[in-house]
């Protein structure tokens, strides 16, 4: 989920019950241009792109044991170089082999790897040999179920700790139903944990897909974006409450305003319309201060910033 799986949403997902959270896919070409910096002002570890000074990945000790760094790559050496920058600050590395977007496929990454088993083997074995943390990957269904099972078996032989399977093929659209039965065939063929993904929008769906597929775990993407309290066993909370909690997390961790706006727009589009006053106001917002005023969190915004100034001034 580009621009969306950033620190505030990951921490909020964990608050609501997610055991593991994934960062947005970050392309290796971009990440190897970053340097690691400890941000004492925020209490975070930032990976900052040299030259532009933009934060490409931000994490914190609170999520150290559950955050998965998701990488987009088409080359084993480049993937390893990127992973070696961040592996001590995360719980696992995941190679995205399921993204169907043109920017990913055109670079030989994401779903383009599904037809390159040798490259997949090279990337995964290289990461496994050189890192002391779990390595996983995510795929989509291939043209036929036997093809998917065959690829999954080859991936298992690389020694990965788990395999996530999205129950759609590359040409499928989000409105096309996910094929849970084909995920079940992969589960039956492997001995490593399989993570099922596709058409999970509430806690009951989490239970249903586990029962239908036999998967060890469940990955939630769009459902979590629309209402991240989907992970709560007590049921989803009101959308308005969740949205405000996300805004507060974005303020607390000084999230990039473009990322915050993008996530809010996705939330709004599912429940409402960007042409209504709220959507227009989010689009016009130029800073987290603007966002805080829009959602009635200006006092919290001021409190956070005053507290940081005091804390950092006393160091």
Q: Which residues are catalytic?
A: 99
Q: Residue 21 to residues 115, 124, 274: CA-CA distances in angstroms?
A: 27, 20, 28
Burial 249-287 (b: 16+ CB within 10 A, else e): bbbbbbbbbebbbbbbbbbbeeeeeeeeebbeebeebee
- Helices (H) and strands (E) counted in the chain, each on its own, are 14, 11
Name the binding residues: 70, 138, 166, 221-222
**56 three-class SS:** strand
Signed CA dihedral, 218, 224, 227, 228: sign only: positive
Query: What backbone phi and psi angles, to 5 degrees, belong to 95?
Result: -100, 120
| Contact yes or no for 116/150 (Cβ under 8 A) | no
Closest among 292, 174, 169 to 225, alpha carbons compared: 174
| Contact yes or no for 134/161 (Cβ under 8 A) | yes
Name the binding residues for FMN: 70, 138, 166, 221-222
Distance CA 285, CA 270 (A): 20
Distance CA 135, CA 300 (A): 39
């Amino acid at each position: 989920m580009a621009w969306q799986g950033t620190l505030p949403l990951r921490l909020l997902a964990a608050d609501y019950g997610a055991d593991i959270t994934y960062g947005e896919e970050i392309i290796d070409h971009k990440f190897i241009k970053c340097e690691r910096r400890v941000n004492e002002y925020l209490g975070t570890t930032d990976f900052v792109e040299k030259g532009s000074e933009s934060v490409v990945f931000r994490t914190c000790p609170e999520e150290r044991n559950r955050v998965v760094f998701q990488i987009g790559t088409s080359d084993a050496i480049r993937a390893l170089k990127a992973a070696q920058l961040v592996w001590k600050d995360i719980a696992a590395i995941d190679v995205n082999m399921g993204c169907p977007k043109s920017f990913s496929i055109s670079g030989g990454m994401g779903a383009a790897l599904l037809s390159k088993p040798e490259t997949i083997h090279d990337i995964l074995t290289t990461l496994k040999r050189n890192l002391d943390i779990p390595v996983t990957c995510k795929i989509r269904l291939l043209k036929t179920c036997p093809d998917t099972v065959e690829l999954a078996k080859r991936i298992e032989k690389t020694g990965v700790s788990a395999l996530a399977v999205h129950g759609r093929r590359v040409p499928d659209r989000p409105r096309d139903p996910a094929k849970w039965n084909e995920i079940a065939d992969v589960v039956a063929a492997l001995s490593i944990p399989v993570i099922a993904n596709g058409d999970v929008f509430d806690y009951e769906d989490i239970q249903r897909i586990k029962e239908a597929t036999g998967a060890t775990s469940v990955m939630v993407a769009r459902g979590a974006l629309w209402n991240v309290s989907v992970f709560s066993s007590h049921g989803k909370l009101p959308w308005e409450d969740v949205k405000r909690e996300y805004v507060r997390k974005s303020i607390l961790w000084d999230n990039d305003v473009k990322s915050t706006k993008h996530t809010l727009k996705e939330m709004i589009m599912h429940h409402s319309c960007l042409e209504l006053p709220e959507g227009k106001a989010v689009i016009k917002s130029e800073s987290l201060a603007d966002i805080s005023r829009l959602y009635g969190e200006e006092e919290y915004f001021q409190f956070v910033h005053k507290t940081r100034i005091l804390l950092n001034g006393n160091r």
